[in-house]
Amino acid sequence: MAERYDLVVIGAGPAGEKGAAQAAYFGKRVAVIDRRPHPGGAPVASTGIPTKTLRETALYVTGFRNRDVYGLSLELDREAVLEHLMSRKSEVRHTMERAVEDNLRRHGIRYIQGEASLGHDRTVRVALDDGEQLSLQAEIILIASGSRPFRPSGVPFDDPDVHDSEEILEIRELPARMAVIGGGPVACEYASIFTALGTDVTLIDAADRLLPFMDEEISRLLAETFERMGMRLVLGAGVATIERSDGGLRVRVENGDVLLPEQVLFAAGRSGNTEGLGLEERGAELDARGRIKVDEHFQTAAEGIYAAGDVIGPPALASVSMEQGRVAVCHAFGFPFKETVDPLPPFAVYSIPEAAMVGLTEEAARARQVEHEVGRGWFAGNARATISGFPEGLVKLVFRREDKALLGVHILSESASELIHIGQAVVHAGGTIDRFIHTTFCAPTRSEAYKYAAYDGLQRLAAGSDTSTIAASSGL
């Protein structure tokens, strides 16, 4: 006999957890299935939280922020550094796993560890670790099985020194030389973390700039910051090939470069975790990377089956995945609560320094033929940034010339992922850059950069965008 539930969720990552909790909050009987012994998905186990933990631990144990300020050059035992990194990563991961477990338990949600597959008439078969089988019958099924690193056939991942973005978390030795292939968020994060740890890093990407989805100026300034940190960038390089020769790794780039790294990280995209689920047999559609196609309500082509999170593709952000799971469940059951996902989510890259954005880039405004202007508040003139020893970057405002309406915010800075929400709130409210002029910010704070970016924007309007007459940093 099949156990009956109102909702069965496959996958216990951000989309699955929040979708399940939303249904349980409204009194539905819910079960969540995941192959891992603990819930949380890849963001807790192997991607988001572990990566950010490594970042903060690396900055702390190396004293990276204080090198230029105090002239400190810490000579650390590389084995001890790696031990600290891995120990802290495991500690934070276990804490967050318990937090997700507590949330499921608090909502009365059953958690089942096993391999799930879809049967007829919205049944879910679960293969348990002990060889037993469960059968669950559901009114609604939510697929939130997440994603995994994309592994193209030409990359020798069977080599113990060639890693994807999840395997890199389990390295046993801190390399002296590393090649990072990719120019997206994960590649930038790991490349800057290992550079901070003292590894000689070369970042290689076929694109001619980092983070192509971000504002071009932010991408360029991030690349310049990386180079000042000691990272080498090989951009617009074409396809890189990896081989082992004479006992060592060789990375050959189409531009003729040959690198001899000790380890290689390949970080170029992800694929949906849909193998073995039987989605196509049930009528759902998948793309070439195994990601599920859904409509605006996150409903698949199969009746009663929804999908949310990384398994449906970009933007593949934990924050957005949570909202997708909630919206999918509310639509499925007709709950009058969450009807749409925020159309203006913030994006953050947790590199060193961080980069974040919300709304239109300057290039997007130009492509839409919006008459716009920009304002810049540089952290080089910001007291808090100077005190911290990391004065890199800026707050950049993109706004409409006609009425000064804020269209987008772009930040390169330590704590950019926190600062971006100030701009997001103003964009959401349909506000203008005058909001920052009239707001009092604590001093000294990095948040003050918003005010000076707004003043810079007003000066540009007054000067008719003749930048030669405008000071780089306003003292108003």
Give me the mean pLDDT over the 390-402 stretch.
Answer: 96
Rounded CA gap, 4 and 16, in Å? Answer: 18
- The pLDDT value recorded for residue 255 is 84
What pLDDT sits at residue 389? 84
pLDDT at 160 (0 to 100): 94
Q: For position 473, what pLDDT does the model report?
A: 41
pLDDT band of residue 77 (cuts 50, 70, 90) is low
Q: Return left, alpha or beta for 90; rule: phi > 0 is left, psi -120 to 50 is alpha, else beta.
A: alpha
- The pLDDT score that the predictor gives to residue 66 is 59
In whole angstroms, what is the distance from residue 362 CA to residue 421 CA?
Answer: 19
pLDDT at 467 over 50: no
Summarised one tens digit per residue, pLDDT across range 89-132 is 889 889 999 999 999 999 999 999 999 999 999 999 999 988 89
State the pLDDT confidence band at 178, using cuts at 50, 70 and 90: very high
pLDDT per residue as tens digits for the range 119-174: 999 999 999 988 899 999 999 999 999 999 999 989 999 999 999 999 998 888 89
User: In the prediction, which pLDDT does 276 show?
Assistant: 93
**More confident of the two residues 69 and 393:** 393
Q: Is the pLDDT of residue 468 over 80?
A: no
The helix (H) or strand (E) run that includes residue 250 is strand 248-253
Does the pLDDT value for residue 474 go beyond 50? Answer: no
In contact, 396 and 411? CB cutoff 8 Å? yes
pLDDT at 261: 97
Q: How far apart are CA 431 and CA 363, in angstroms?
A: 21
Distances (CA, A) of 291 to 145, 261, 314, 332, 410: 10, 33, 10, 20, 29
- Confidence at 475, pLDDT banded by 50, 70, 90: very low
Span 230-250, mean pLDDT? 92
The per-residue pLDDT for 89 is 84
| Dihedrals phi, psi of 368, to nearest 5 degrees | -85, 5
From 316, 324, 358, 342, select the one nearest 48 (Cα to Cα): 316
Residue 283 falls in which region: left (phi positive, over 0), alpha (psi -120 to 50) or beta: left
pLDDT of residue 309: 96
- Tens of pLDDT, residue by residue over 33-72, are 999 999 998 888 777 888 888 888 888 777 665 565 555 5
Tens of pLDDT, residue by residue over 288-340, are: 999 999 999 999 999 999 999 999 999 989 999 999 999 999 999 999 999 99
Task: Give the pTM.
Answer: 0.91
pLDDT at residue 476 is higher than 60: no
**Mean pLDDT for the stretch of residues 354-371:** 97
